[in-house]
Structure 1
């Protein structure tokens, strides 16, 4: 496996309550950790401060669009907001953003699939066009659907030559809202990687019953980090270590509660370092 840099693990913050996120920003700046900013609240003071704190030499910045309005399914109704959030992203120093296909699950009925795929494909074409205007990119995050759904989406992206669109793998969503194993998802990521798509990752733990967005220390306390039907023979710490080693260029963001973010980072990196030391 390719050697990896644990500084590719970073933090997710949201655009409000600057005092709460300032310690996270300080650690990210000190260790050049990537930061993903959720553009959900439009807090002016926080945005102003973030513009001065983020994007220093060697630090990656990413944003997460307000997927409640700007999902692939519905963004054509809110194009001014899409442009505003891309411009905000660029002002924060971000080169790309994360977005969802839809804010809710879409129909699984076979009779609707061709119509659904055509609607999404047309919206993806428009999204790619807007991104091209700004020199920007969007990574589409897996949410409520399985691998087959996203494979069809990315087949359309390739067929239509939409080179501003890439993929964000959310490990918690994959565990709860698909029936595939992590190994099968990793094979899909290999497939996308081989086709030239860039990868981004969201890391957080859950029970498997719903997506609680737990920190790893909290998940371990609750007994949710042991090998299971999703991770197979790996515990959760080893699973994310293997993801990192297999996809070393992907930016990997811990999506955990703000008050637990620093402990989660130090604990997770120490555990992964220990796993790798044992493996030699």
Structure 2
């Protein structure tokens, strides 16, 4: 693969995935461009090559939810809002503190203490056990560790437009890009997205996790099956972003505050599904 260069950015940092028709699907790690190489072996019985656009088009949408499930969820929303009328004010204060720090202009001056506070506090959502991060932070030292965390956030939020957000997320999680490895985990990176774009990202920090991931919530509340994550097509970044957008479209109109929407989903998933009643 070393003699092949990306036609868009000329990078040689690429990989190839064999396709059923004998061609290679080439993916550029630097700009995200994908193209097919080789001559196709014609076989109408073989499945078609799946690019990122065809995968996204095949991902479930809110139109795939059954009408009876929609009706049930609407009733649950009404019930939930009677008992949970107001968002948590602490979340708004937390966002007001960190949103400016994560902007392109504010990030270079975000202090080590600010970044450490972001990681080790559970406001908005808990990223889980951070003992590995704190050990690495102490080993690197606050200044060096903070600079690497800034690099992670910079690439995620403000990286090249030629690489889709979902693929930048995958690259960070898979360790193929700059930053602080102990920070480049799905929960922390998703929490950054929740702060930077609170009207788009729900504070559900994992794609799949027991009953608390987006995949499991979609199944328990809306009775839809989402694909498992894998390395080639259904990458973790793509699934994390697309499942978030699906949940956003399913609950965001009825509960615009996505912190409240997440509280609703956590509550609704414990209610009996129609198929189990």
Common fold by TM > 0.5? no
TM-score (norm 2): 0.29
TM-score (norm 1): 0.28
More strand by share: 1
Q: Which has the larger radius of gyration?
A: 2
